[in-house]
Amino acid sequence: MKILVVGGGGREHAIVWKIAQSPKVEKIYCAPGNGGIAETAECVNVAATDIDGMVALAKEKAVDLVMVAPDDPLAMGMVDALEKEGIRAFGPRANAAIIEGSKAFSKELMKKYNIPTAKYEVFDDSAKAVAYIKEQGKFPAVIKADGLALGKGVIIAQDLGEAEQAVHEMIDEGKFGKSGSRVVIEEFLTGPEVSVLAFTDGKTVKPMVSAQDHKRAYDNDKGLNTGGMGTFSPSRLYDEAKQKECMENIFLPTIKAMTAEGRPFKGVLYFGLMMTADGVKVIEYNCRFGDPETQVVLPRLKTDLVDIMEAVIDEKLDEIEIEWEDNAAVCVVMASGGYPVSYKKGYEITGLDSVDGVTVFHAGTAVKDGKIVTSGGRVLGVTALGANIDEARDKAYAAVDKISFKDEFHRSDIGIKKY
């Protein structure tokens, strides 16, 4: 088979790496790809959001399957466009990707189908939003941009001043463009978080092993929210009882709700969950593999990913058995100084050849004059497997110590949390 993977970050590197292990695959293309992906796939310079360009590329290369990994092209209807041309594509159609693309949609879905989540209201008028926050009188208050905002559209306001500022910036000043012209104000929940990604064909849902992300930029969860600074798998708290609770109250009801709404979800559905004193609740849905969750989940997958993707496309997920390794994984993200605000690019990365026993997934790298250089905020995801999280973490950090580039920073506490 010839497969085209859409995207160019650490998640896509992990997907390409896993697909390359399939005996069925003879050639992988990745658009746009990055410096690390180029070692395994032929990278083609078509932007992940260029729908016409991607359809043309899939046709030109006569690929058998297109795996659309990022949220933007999914929300824009890339899968619909590929299917229209008779090209097999993995990922939800636009009418299902909205589960991530609009928080107002996903909150209303959960309310309608009794799926546990934080209490909320939706506003497109800043005065009304602020009046509601005052009326609730509870802080922190959670303010979320309705649309896609690169994982940065959530503000946890500690007092009324911060809340007013966040509402004003989103609705009146257009901080996130159209994505923030509508906001969701929701109740602040507390408890450990867990990410559970699941394969689904709209009828059957098969959860993957659990993972935990570290969203804040610095150690001890200080600093701004980022796309994710590191992950580990499995979560220490997501036991069999929690899995059963989630399957009954969240996973199956969500799949059924989307199908009942005429929006069958096919692809990977990501459940961002919080284990509260009052049961597990949904914090967010993503319509795709998480980044950097994928970097710790796929290395633990025994089954051929291509077989699973085909089963999803053909709506035969019930017929395939998905197997996982009984081990653990840790991914430490090495980032450019200044991320997630502003940072420089183009610095040479050294030490990549000196590490062994780990897999280095490239997130933001490029090849310049034959050298690997930085080209994004999150640069590398150094991933190690071990019998348990402590063993995996030691291996990952030993490798991180050997890799360097100017202004590099990373968290030193990935996987240390005892929950």
* Site residues (vs ligand GLY, CB under 6 A): 151, 213, 228, 286, 290-291, 293
- Smallest gap from Cβ 294 to ligand GLY, in A, equals 8
Nearest CA-CA partner of 33 in 14, 59, 55, 52: 14
Considering beta carbons, is residue 35 or 151 the nearer one to ligand GLY? 151
**Residue 291 binding: pick among ligand GLY, ligand AMP, none (C-beta 5-8 Å cut-off by kind):** ligand GLY
Task: Considering only residues 90 through 129, tell me which ones interact with ligand AMP, judged by CB under 6 A.
Answer: 118
Is 298 an interacting residue with respect to ligand AMP (CB under 6 A)? no
**Residue 142 binding: pick among ligand AMP, ligand GLY, none (C-beta 5-8 Å cut-off by kind):** ligand AMP
- Smallest gap from Cβ 389 to ligand GLY, in A, equals 18
Buried b / exposed e over 216-249, threshold 16 CB at 10 Å, is bbbeeeeeebbbbbbbbbbbbebeeebeebbeeb
Alpha helices in 144-225 (DSSP H): 160-167
Considering beta carbons, is residue 204 or 225 the nearer one to ligand AMP? 225
Is 189 an interacting residue with respect to ligand AMP (CB under 6 A)? yes
Is 188 an interacting residue with respect to ligand AMP (CB under 6 A)? yes
In angstroms, the CA 212 to CA 293 distance is 7
Among 164, 169, 193, 394, binds ligand AMP (CB under 6 A): 193
How many degrees, rounded to 5, is the angle at CA 329 between CA 339 and CA 419?
Answer: 80
- Dihedral angle, C-alpha 220, 325, 200, 19, nearest 10 °: 100
Is 272 an interacting residue with respect to ligand AMP (CB under 6 A)? yes
In angstroms, the CA 44 to CA 83 distance is 21
Among 197, 283, 335, 373, binds ligand AMP (CB under 6 A): 283
- End-to-end distance of the chain based on CA atoms, in angstroms? 42
Give the residue closest to ligand AMP by C-beta: 284
Is 215 an interacting residue with respect to ligand AMP (CB under 6 A)? yes
Per-residue string for binding with ligand AMP, 141-170, x by CB under 6 A? -x--------x--x-x--------------
- Binding-site size, ligand AMP (CB under 6 A): 15
For 7, 17, 170, 242, 407, the CA distances from 250, given in Å and listed in that order, are: 29, 31, 30, 11, 42
The type of residue at 73 is: P
**Residue 286 binding: pick among ligand GLY, ligand AMP, none (C-beta 5-8 Å cut-off by kind):** ligand GLY
Nearest CA-CA partner of 384 in 402, 371, 365: 402
Residue 212 burial by CB count (10 A; 0-12/13-18/19+): exposed, middle or buried? buried
Element (DSSP H or E) covering residue 211:
none
- Smallest gap from Cβ 1 to ligand GLY, in A, equals 27
**Residue 229 binding: pick among ligand GLY, ligand AMP, none (C-beta 5-8 Å cut-off by kind):** none
According to DSSP, residue 61 is labeled T
**Residue 188 binding: pick among ligand AMP, ligand GLY, none (C-beta 5-8 Å cut-off by kind):** ligand AMP
| Stretch of 57-65, 180-188, 294-302, 328-336 contacting ligand AMP, by CB under 6 A | 180-188
In angstroms, the CA 229 to CA 220 distance is 12
Is 291 an interacting residue with respect to ligand AMP (CB under 6 A)? no
Residues that bind ligand AMP (CB under 6 A): 118, 142, 151, 154, 156, 186-189, 193, 215, 225, 272, 283-284
